[in-house]
Amino acid sequence: MKVIGEDMEKVGLNIVIEREKSRFIATSPDINVFAEGKTIDEAVSKFREGARFHLESFPEERISLMESNEEKFEMPMLTKIFL
């Protein structure tokens, strides 16, 4: 059995995880996809599933992301500090 997208080149996406009360929200500045879960792992897993579906539905966006990934741009890591 062949998995959809198995033969495609991998694309790196930056994601942001935010906490809202009792859930986590995973979003990306790279594509218009978001997912939520009760844990970070669940939110990321659902985000991966949604992102794969999105990129299979819009192959031109995958191509655009692959071209922009050549620039090796990485988002800065954010953390909370207390003063």
3-state secondary structure 31-63: CCCEEEECCHHHHHHHHHHHHHHHHHHCHHHHH
Per-residue pLDDT at 23: 96
| Mutual angle of helices 59-69 and 40-57, in 10-degree steps | 110
Q: Name 27's Cβ contacts closer than 8 Å, sequence gap at least 6.
A: 15, 16, 18, 33, 34, 47
- Higher-confidence residue: 71 or 22? 22
Average pLDDT (8-29) is: 88
Segment 32-81, tens digit of pLDDT: 999 999 999 999 999 999 999 999 999 999 888 887 765 555 666 666 66
Per-residue pLDDT at 5: 47
